């Protein structure tokens, strides 16, 4: 079972991927360095970047050797405490951490997986002092009830490394991919949230949070 609103189901298969050496990726990325700005660098997302933790760590270490900042975009679902994961997190200057739901049962219903390891990852990032941008996708009827938002806010208040909190409005741009791949889209008929509900969710999640 996968995340019910994933807009990239075409990335689920690990077959047929093209392999690149870390140095070649960085050579290609540096062609655009003039456009990065003072705080720019490279971001690895996916799919799920943690599934290739060792390769991403190598890429990030070599990026630092070139003076390039690194950013890991992850849902942290593959996270388990290990030297391999520690190396990846320590090599990340910033982590974009997607927390889909604070309630474990509802998280399982939405994604098919527990959220306990994801919250563990958030706590560990705080212990390591790696700055995070928290992202929460607002899905009407699934992740937008105020009780859950307040619970998530309570959890975020315990973290000491938050740089930014972002509400990402649910959208339907990936639905056609599900249909083309022959998958059943479980959120058929769910519409994007209103601007007012997004603003309200942002206010709840940011209340009392210590930003760095």
Q: Are 67 and 97 in contact (CB under 8 A)?
A: no
Alpha-carbon distance 107 to 86, whole Å? 25
Q: What pLDDT is stored for residue 2 in this prediction?
A: 64
Alpha-carbon distance 36 to 11, whole Å? 26
Report, as an integer, the average pLDDT of 164-176.
82
Q: Which CATH superfamily is domain 21-206 in?
A: Aldolase class I (3.20.20.70)
Phi, psi of 187 (to 5 degrees): -105, 25
Q: What pLDDT is stored for residue 16 in this prediction?
A: 67
Q: What pLDDT is stored for residue 46 in this prediction?
A: 79
How far from 79 is each of 35, 82, 116, 121, 152, CA to CA, in Å?
Answer: 32, 9, 10, 7, 19
Could you check whether the bond before residue 205 is cis, i.e. omega within 30 degrees of 0? no
Average pLDDT, the chain: 90
171 CB neighbour count, 10 Å cutoff:
14
pTM: 0.91
Question: Residues 82-107: pLDDT tens digits?
Answer: 999 999 999 999 999 999 999 999 99
Question: Residues 128-145: pLDDT tens digits?
Answer: 999 999 999 999 999 999
Question: Residues 22-59: pLDDT tens digits?
Answer: 999 999 999 999 999 888 899 999 779 999 999 999 99
Selection from 134, 175, 139 nearest residue 158 by Cα: 134
Tell me: pLDDT of 184 over 80. Answer: no
Question: Residues 110-128: pLDDT tens digits?
Answer: 989 999 999 999 999 999 9
Which runs of E-coded beta strand occur in the chain? 41-44, 69-74, 94-98, 131-138, 162-169
Tell me: pLDDT of 193 over 90. Answer: yes
Report, as an integer, the average pLDDT of 53-71.
97
Residue percentage of the chain with pLDDT more than 70: 88
Q: What pLDDT is stored for residue 55 in this prediction?
A: 96
Q: Are 90 and 61 in contact (CB under 8 A)?
A: no
Question: Residues 3-24: pLDDT tens digits?
Answer: 656 556 556 566 767 889 999 9
Tell me: pLDDT of 188 over 70. Answer: yes
Question: Angle CA(197)–CA(201)–CA(206) in degrees, nearest 5?
Answer: 150
Alpha-carbon distance 141 to 86, whole Å? 35
Alpha-carbon distance 172 to 17, whole Å? 26
């Amino acid at each position: 079972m996968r995340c019910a609103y994933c807009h990239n189901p075409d990335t689920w298969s690990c077959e047929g991927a093209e392999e690149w050496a870390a140095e070649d990726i960085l050579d290609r990325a540096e062609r655009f360095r003039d456009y990065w700005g003072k705080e720019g660098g490279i971001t690895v997302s996916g799919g799920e970047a943690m599934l290739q933790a060792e390769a991403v760590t190598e890429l990030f270490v070599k990026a630092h050797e070139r003076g390039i900042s690194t950013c890991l975009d992850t849902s942290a679902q593959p996270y388990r405490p290990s030297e391999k994961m520690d190396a990846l997190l320590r090599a990340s200057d910033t982590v974009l951490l997607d927390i889909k739901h604070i309630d474990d049962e509802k998280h399982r219903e939405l994604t098919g997986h527990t959220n306990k390891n994801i919250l563990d990852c958030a706590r560990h990032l705080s212990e390591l002092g790696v700055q995070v941008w928290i992202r929460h996708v607002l899905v009407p009827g699934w992740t937008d009830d105020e009780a859950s938002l307040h619970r998530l806010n309570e959890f975020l208040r315990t973290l000491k490394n938050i740089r930014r909190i972002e509400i990402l409005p649910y959208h339907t741009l990936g639905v056609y991919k599900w249909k083309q791949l022959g998958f059943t889209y479980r959120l058929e008929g769910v519409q994007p949230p209103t601007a007012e509900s997004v603003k309200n969710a942002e206010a709840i999640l940011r209340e009392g949070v210590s930003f760095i």
